[in-house]
Structure 1
Amino acid sequence: MINKSALAQPDVLLVLQSADAPVDSEYLHTLPYAPVLVMTTQPSLISSTSLVFHLPNDANQKAVHRLLHSVERVLNARRHVVTLVANGGTGKTQAVLKFVSENLSRFSNVWFFDASSNDTLTANFKALGKAAGVGEDVRDVRDFLARINQKWLCIFDNVDDENVFLKDYIPSCNHGSMIITSRLSEISQMASPDCHIELMDLTEASAVELLLNQAHKQSSDENQNLAFEIVGALGCHALAVSTAGAYIGGTPTCTMGNYLTHFNKKKKKILNYRMRALDNYQRTVYSAFLLSFEKLSYPTQVLMQICAYLNPTAIPLEIFTRAATFTGNDINTVDVDPPIQAIYFVKEFFSLFADKDSWEDSVVEMCQLSLASYNAVKKCLDFHAVIHTCAQETVKCHYISQTATLILARATPLGDAIEEYQFRRQLLIHASHIWQVNNLPTVHTKICLAHIFKESGMLVQTEKLAEEVLLAHKQVFGVHHPQTLTSMGNLALTYFYLGKLEAAKRLEQEVLPLRKQVLGDYHPDTLISMANLALTHREHGEFESAEKLGEEVLLLRKQVLGVHHPDTLTSMNNLALTYQAHGKLEVAEKLGEQVLLLRKKVIGDCHHHTLDAMANLSYTYKKCGKLKAGEKLEKKVLSLRKQVLGDHHPATLTAMTNLATTYWELGKLKEAEKLEEKVLPLCKQVLGYHHPATLTAMANLATTYRELGKLEAAEQLGEKVFLLYKQVFGKYHPHTLTSMANLAITYGWEYGKLEAAEKLGEEVLLLRKQVLGAHHSDTLTSMNNLALTYQAHGKLKTAEKLGEEVLLLYKQVLGDHHPYTLTSMDNLVITYQACGKLGAAEKLKKDISKACVTPRGLWRCPEA
């Protein structure tokens, strides 16, 4: 007996299954308008197997409300079709069922059809026709629905097969309404105006609530934090979040704290975990994914599997089109254990896409099944984190991950063109993803990833790869082979960028004689080694050696390559910087102007090497005290960088940083602060939090805050950048020591922090002596600044002794007229006066006057 009063209760739905014909005939006419939801058996009929249950409340509430809004329009006079499209497991069916349960009284009848295939849909129509006594042909049932001039609702669920022609089943009439759920994006074309819904993933908050409910966990702060981490990893995918909660709740050894560890170890098991739910939903996360994946063509399936080993977001289609036209070799003789299967599979894979349009066809396939989204502007694919994981679990061959790595390496350009640099920047997140999860199978892949990492400031990774490449070359070719020497040179340059100057110097001094022996004195690679060693000497503070070697390289390049060759101009540029660092400012200025003129003539005004020369000359102008000329040139550099490279290119950001520094030196602190506060977030966005340029921007802003008297902000930012430098470069890198020195100065400016300033200043000085040597300009800067700290602390004798020592060293290293020498003289005058040695102070003042420099009083040598 049917309890008719039960049908009127809220949130209750009567589900009728497997009714036979006699029962159908008996009850069909007694309840013609009853609120009934019919599943995939005998629609709208009452039977002895009926079941009353409460619908789950874990559907996406936002989507339900949107669905409610759309379906309410269905209740108007004309027929409406609502389409609901999303990938598997996002709760489409649950959202529809919840809507129906809350709105049963609005409809005369509700018919629910399983539209996952032509067979199931035809069977549902046949059953309805048989029950209604109108015939079992699809056309008969369709006409029957058209004749019922009432507010009925048809639900076509899971229209995921593109071979299902749904229009053959939809009645032609102006009454009644339909809801269609599907993974196919083109289903949206069937929607009435403004009646298409894209069901998105859960919000973070609703996903956390769902997870905690399914896991039967209290909503404590600790559980909330752990839940946010879990739903973030799952991308707020409704079914995945539900499954995670059920797995945690049903697995004694799994907790909120260790779920992600469980997941990473047992992905396939958890993705296939079947929840015990009242709604009889039988699909697991993985099975829901497979329903769509198995509909893809074989080439598209393989493409998706390869993408599963890249980062799930922003996968440029250009990776595959570039790799397809690669003309080099995936392996060479240095690869002792080459990935043969992966290499064969790469060739097989690209043979599947012989037609260039095939790539776009595969993108369309994945997007139509809601397995991926495509950014048409950036031409990039994006995969949901859960779908990405599921795709990886379909892989049965171990070499697919190696295939993805080989394809990325094939796609990596190694040239200097701006377009190639920009594409390498796009590859960074994928190179990082591969680095974290896969062993690199060939030397070529290591070289390519090292190139990507080096440009992005990921020098620790670059160092490891460069060392592995060198070891492989030595083992196979020996130390005298040109490729071995090239890898030695690359590793030495990496050491240089890492601030490991001693290691760089040792390796460069080993490479140079070997290249002379193997290649000859005049070979371009030999000259590169000479040039790099000269740079290392300069950074070491060994200006005489740097100058001598730089002059030799320049002369040889003029002879071998000619005056106008780009490498010759680079040598001129580097030598100008060496003269500048050595205090030979007039010579540096003259040579810098010559380089700029020649680069304009040879490669044009807007070439990035010309702009580099312009930036270097502006720096020399500032060192010469020509701050206005430096500012003017830097503004021009910034304008051209924006014009040529765009606002967000790293070189543009460097130009902004340099101009802000000039504002600082001109005393335009507000302008400096404004520009630095603009450039820092851009550096974080474009280059990443740990890139050297980002850390420089952060350090400069901290210094500006200090000069503006914003000491608390300066201290906080200074401590942060010091910590980051230690993490990225290590404790002994020159940049780390500079940030430590800057922090010591900030402490010295703050009331009551002289002890901390003194302690940190002494530590910096000791480390700089160890790392850079006693005569390096940075070491002398630390001595000068520590003397000032002693003076401020009232330790006048110690300050005097250290001040005299640093002045003597400045004269020996940089000469009597270098700005830093004159600065230390200024500071020593103040110290003599504080000690009551007025005669010594006056004598030193006269020495300064002879150099035509006006004493500026207490002044610190710049650190940033």
Structure 2
Amino acid sequence: MGLEILYPKPGSAQPDSFVVDIIAVHGLNGDATNTWKHPKNNHFWLQDSLPLDVKGARILSYGYNADVAFGNTTVNVWDHAKSLLGSLIDERETDDVSKRPIIFIAHSLGGIIVKQALVWAHREPQYQAIKDHTLGIVFFGTPHRGSDKANYGRILANVATGVMHKPKSRLIDALQSNSETLMKLTSEFKFEAPNMEIITFYETRPMGIFSRLIVEKQSALLELSHEDTQPVDANHRDMCKFDTRNDETYKKLVKRVNRMLKGKDKSLPASDCSTPKLRNKHFELPFDVSPYFTGGSDVCGELREGCLPLEDPPAQNMQQRFVLYGLGGSGKTQMALKFANDYRERFWGVFFIDTSSVDIARQAFSKMARVCKVGEGMEDFRRCLTNSLEPWLLILDNADDPSLNISQFFPVGNRGTIIVTSRNPDCRCHATVGSRELREMESDEAITLLLRSGDLLSENEDLRSIALPIVQTLGYLALAVSHAGASIRQRICSLEDYLDNYARRRKKLLSSRPVQADSDYEYTVYTTWEISVDSIKELSNNATDSTAANALEFLTLFGFCHFDDITEDMFRSAWNEFGRTEGYTWWASNLPGMVRDRRLLEWDSIRFNESMRLLSSYSLIYVSGPNNRISLHPLVHSWIRDSLNEEVHFRWWNITVSTLALAADVSSPLAQMQLSVHLRHCIDIGQVDDLFVEDDVLLDRVQILSLIISVYEFCPGKDTLTLSERALEYSRKFLGDECYSTCLLSLRLSQIFLYLREYQKASDLLQSTLDVSIRILGPATDLTLGIMRELAWAYTELGRKQEALELAEKKLAICEKSLEGRDVHTLLALCDVAMVYSELGRYREAVDLLENAIAKRAEMANEDITTMLQLELLLAITYDRSGRHEAALEMFQNNLKEQFILLGDDHPYTLHTMAYIGVQYGTIGQPEEGIPLMIKALEVGQGRMPDDWLETQKEALKWLQYKSAQLQSESANTSTAVPEMLVEPQELPHREGEEISSRKGWRLWPKTRRRIGESSS
């Protein structure tokens, strides 16, 4: 503990002198050495590499008990910060050492100790020398504030749960309760930060199996104008561990530390460094950077690092090329102009070429040749730059056409700097010193831009509060925010009523260019995307294949889905289920061309991805993640629909509803939940009444309605019951009661009644429907068997358990006779009987039946793995209910491991099992083991699981926390140790309340309804 000198090692030869002290401070669950050691080879870079790469550096590491520091009150943080200061004063007390520069390197919560120490140094005279001689700080994943996803207290708790195996609840509580004070520390520190260099490294890889960042980028940044921010391709724990000197993050760190030292030398009075000479002769930009230019400090920093010329241009060993790419209107050109304006004196010439076409580019090159008096054509000017001994900057703007090879405009050789701006991500291949995608602005920067361009006070907090929902609505897009500011500045609307105007006149506001708008914005918000689509249409007209035509169809369809989390699987599923449209001509014709195309034996993934690549090349869509998830900017999403006339708008609304309904796959709960988001969004865009048109395609509409309801069931809302009741009424009115479609919709409605615990309503509807289904379809059909299963469930919930058993046994007999016991319905029937046995307390018989079902499943080669997982899960539940809690826990754990591998950590089955195990730990008296698991389940389940499931698990977490506090109280032999905030729940989750059981809410057996309604009658 305390300050330890890592270099030079005691007893080794001492260097003649030191020029800097580098102090490393670890975070939670770390120490003075292991925090910085790579786990594979134990490379301790602070000791083994840094002295070699930062000449004259003395390396020290500060160790402390982080659990104690952050586990009680903020007084402990202050104490450790003062201890650090005291140790430094003692170590640097001689005159020559006390004036030596200091650089801190801090990981995670260690950055809080450093911030507190420097704030104290500012206040206390005895520590003045520390403050005065601190050159800068390198932060690795230090959480400075909250983010859009979580408040500061939650983020601090995330650090503890992420880096520690079993963090004590006391530590979690302390971090959350002290978060407000620690947040104020960040504000205080910002007053000190302008006097020192700030380097911030932030993680980009999630931690562990739960796939989330411990400290989000937004939380890791101090958002200072001079802050140098750098992403790290590692998780929170490993971001400061380097296995060699060649590690990219390590090399960036070394460069910046040496740059700090060089900057310090230049600031000394004795420095003989001269100011770079002013050399600019040609400055050929078509317009100035916007006077309202805001933000982008991190991008500017990357441009500065990669694009500024060397002091000795002939020594440059490669041409410096940087690519800015992204959606039209995201500020690429403005960023390039800003850099050119700021550093024009570092270049002999600054030149701007519009490369939107070869002809336009050639004309611009010819003009530059005449300006520089080197000839008349493009080759003359390129040759001039190739041979120039002076540094030059060439901006190649609007390199958007995917068929245009931008490299034809590069001057030959290794001299000069080129900045390319493009909507096409593929242009990154030409970068030699870096590339950067521009998308949405940061929230604070967008607000500042709106207020500045609206000629309003950007620092006024009241105005900033009003501006926030405006920039959120505009998707933080630079061009849209700038145009909104211009509209406010010109009194077209006020800041206060802009959103009201936008809601009524969105298309007009975004399709118009305000009078006296900034000259650099040539296009309106919508025009900039229309240009891209016109290019794709031209490709479609001239192409021999259907790539461009498919791209335009899918882009239009995307405009009616939700703008985020669109997947190829949705359309693959629709293609696979095309057989559902047999006999439904209108439905089959209202689908995208690729879904209707049956020429191949399987879905054409290559053709789909080629279409997506074309859209992505214009930055009209974003494709990201291992599953190639597709998203659109919210304004692009709105523009797609706004560009359609009323007739075409209605046709594509129908196509989207028809396609999404066809994609329904009840065997995949996660896919159904994602699909429900898109279906709900699409239906909200149109009118619900349009689903119930009285025309000559009633059968088509009823089939589509049935599938929509099946999707809604997996994430039910208030609309689900209303839609189901209306659909059944619609079918009865036009098709009658004695009809397959009406029976199917009756089943759908009864399932929703069951979900809502309206058991009597479900029972009445199912009883009448069962009679009709047996009469018109027969007993051994999907629909009839499904009705029998749901009716048995309703009987069980109504306490009519003997009737439930008789019905379940009758269904099992039908399956074993008619289906020869080899169908999934047989497995379901065995489970139904087993669950009723369990309700009757006949656990041994229930276990025997479930083991029989598992054996039958093993003989079925064509059933997916989730069936087996769910059988095992039901067997574990039965163990639990029979009192065999240890056996249940073991089976749950094994089941969870298989689910992690086969389904992933965010699958609904996995999350359900995770929560169940958490409760099991509480049941067997180990609530401390269950709390972290339940927290993880809730965090990952947010946005993935139904609201009532989340609420149930929150109650379970409270119960676990209460049980934990109760056990701690008993072990301390006190009666008052249980925190007052933890009140004993009135009923225990899962045991008495059955809140987490398989019979509640979230259905463990989605395959109950698999293929029901797909066969014709």
Q: TM-score surpassing 0.5?
A: yes
2:440 maps to 201
Distance 1:295 1:590, change over 3 A: same
Kindly indicate whether residue 852 of structure 2 is the aligned counterpart of residue 597 of structure 1. Answer: yes
SS at match of 2:396: strand
Instruction: Identify the residue that residue 795 of structure 2 maps to in structure 1.
Output: 537
Q: What secondary structure is seen at the aligned counterpart in 2 of 1:111?
A: strand
Cα distance between partner residues in 2 of 1:118 and 1:104: 27
For 2:660, which of 408, 416, 429 is the aligned residue?
Answer: 408
Match of 2:453 among 187, 193, 214: 214
Confirm or deny: 8 A CA contact 1:600 1:610 kept in the other structure: no
Maintained 8 Å contact 2:846/2:878: no
Q: Does structure 1 residue 371 correspond to structure 2 residue 610?
A: no
Point out the more displaced range, 515-524 or 540-549. 515-524
Q: Aligned equivalents of 2:958 and 2:288: distance in 1?
A: 67
Name the structure 2 match of 1:576: 834
Code of the aligned partner of 1:241: V
Q: Distance in 2 between matches of 1:640 and 1:129?
A: 67
1:493 and 1:152 mapped to 2: Cα distance? 71
Deviations 1:444-479 (A, max 9, x none): 333333222222x32544333332332232123210
Q: Deviations over 1:123-165 (max 9, x none)?
A: 2333344455554233333334445442333333223345655
**Given the alignment, which residue of 79, 82, 97 partners 2:322?**
82
How many angstroms apart in 2 are the aligned matches of 1:494 and 1:581?
22
Tell whether the 8 Å contact from 1:450 to 1:461 is kept in structure 2 after alignment.
Answer: no
Q: Is 1:61 aligned to residue 297 of structure 2?
A: yes
> Contact 2:292–2:449 at 8 Å: present in 1 too?
no
CA contact (8 A) 1:202 1:238 kept: yes
* Counterpart mapping for 1:503-582 below 5 A: 503-520=761-778, 525-562=783-820, 566-582=824-840
* CA shift for structure 1 position 545: 3.4
- What is the aligned partner in structure 2 of residue 224 from structure 1? 464
Structure 1 residues 137-536: aligned runs within 5 Å:
137-162=377-402, 166-191=406-431, 193-218=432-457, 219-251=459-491, 253-256=493-496, 258-275=497-514, 276-296=516-536, 297-298=539-540, 299=549, 300-324=551-575, 326-328=577-579, 330=581, 343=589, 346-347=592-593, 357-375=606-624, 377-396=626-645, 397-398=648-649, 399-414=651-666, 416=667, 420-439=668-687, 441=691, 442-455=701-714, 457-520=715-778, 525-536=783-794
2-structure distance, mates of 1:94, 1:108: 21
1-structure distance, mates of 2:365, 2:957:
71
Larger radius of gyration: 1
1:593 and 1:617 in contact (8 A); partners too: no
Give the CA deviation at 1:421: 4.6
Offset, 1:287: 1.9
User: 2:949 matched to which residue of 1?
Assistant: 693
Give the aligned CA root-mean-square deviation in angstroms. Answer: 3.8
Asked if the contact 2:553/2:592 (under 8 Å) is kept, the reply is: no
Q: Any idea what SS the aligned residue of 1:198 has?
A: strand
Shift of 1:422: 4.9
- Residue deviations 1:794-824, cap 9 Å, x none? xxxxxxxxxxxxxxxxxxxxxxxxxxxxxxx
Partner of residue 826, structure 1: none
Preserved contact between residue 35 and residue 108 of structure 1 (Cα < 8 Å): yes
Secondary structure of 1:328's counterpart equals helix
User: 8 Å contact 1:589–1:621 — kept in the other structure?
Assistant: no
The separation in 1 between residues aligned to 2:437 and 2:907, in whole angstroms, is 35
The alignment status of 1:91 with 2:91, answered yes or no, reads: no
2:116 is the alignment partner of 1:116: no
* Contact 1:572/1:591 (<8 A) preserved: no
Distance 1:249 1:352, change over 3 A: farther
Partner-residue secondary structure (3-state), 1:178: strand
Secondary structure (helix, strand or coil) at the match of 2:379 reads: helix
Q: Quote the residue 1:784 is aligned against.
A: none
CA distance in 1, matches of 2:779, 2:520: 80
- d(CA) in 2 for partners of 1:609, 1:173: 63
What residue identity is the alignment partner of 1:198?
E
More helix by share: 1
Return the alpha-carbon distance in structure 2 between the equivalents of residues 196 and 545 of structure 1.
Answer: 69
Structure 1: distance between partners of 2:717 and 2:368: 69
What is the CA-CA distance between 1:662 and the residue it aligns to? 2.8
Q: 1:523 to 1:304 in 2, by over 3 A?
A: closer
Measured in 1, the distance between the counterparts of 2:934 and 2:942 equals 12
Amino acid at match of 1:136: E
What is the DSSP-based 3-state SS (H/G/I as helix, E as strand, rest coil) of the residue aligned with 2:420? strand
Mapped pair 1:588 → 2:836: no
Which consecutive unaligned segments of at least 5 residues does structure 2 have? 1-277, 541-548, 692-700, 968-977, 995-1017
What pairs with 1:646-725 in structure 2 (closer than 5 Å)? 646-684=904-942, 686-687=944-945, 690=947, 692-709=948-965
Quick one: distance in 2 between partners of 1:54 and 1:328? 56
SS in 2 for 1:706: helix
> Which structure 1 segments of 5+ residues have no match?
1-31, 41-50, 712-748, 765-776, 780-864
Q: Deviations over 1:3-41 (max 9, x none)?
A: xxxxxxxxxxxxxxxxxxxxxxxxxxxxx976442245x
Q: Is the 8 A contact 1:126 1:141 kept in 2?
A: yes
The yes-or-no answer on 1:136 pairing with 2:376 is yes
d(CA) in 1 for partners of 2:499, 2:953: 36
Distance 1:694 1:38, change over 3 A: same
In 2, Cα distance between equivalents of 1:349 and 1:678? 38
Letter in structure 2 aligned against 1:181: T
Partners of 2:867 and 2:359 lie apart in 1 by 67
Q: Which whole-Å CA distance do the structure 2 matches of 1:326 and 1:623 have between them?
A: 39
Which secondary structure does the structure 2 equivalent of 1:201 belong to? coil
TM-superposed deviation, 1:238: 0.9
User: Once the two structures are superposed, what CA deviation does each residue of 1:348-390 show, in whole Å capped at 9, x if it has no partner?
Assistant: 9966999764322222222222222223621332222223223
C-alpha contact (below 8 Å) 1:160/1:184 kept by paired residues: yes
Distance in 1, matches of 2:599 and 2:486, equals 42
Cα distance in 2 for residues equivalent to 1:103 and 1:641? 56
User: What pairs with 1:807-818 in structure 2 (closer than 5 Å)?
Assistant: none
Tell me how far 1:710 sits from its aligned partner.
7.4
Tell me the distance in 2 between the aligned counterparts of 1:694 and 1:271: 39
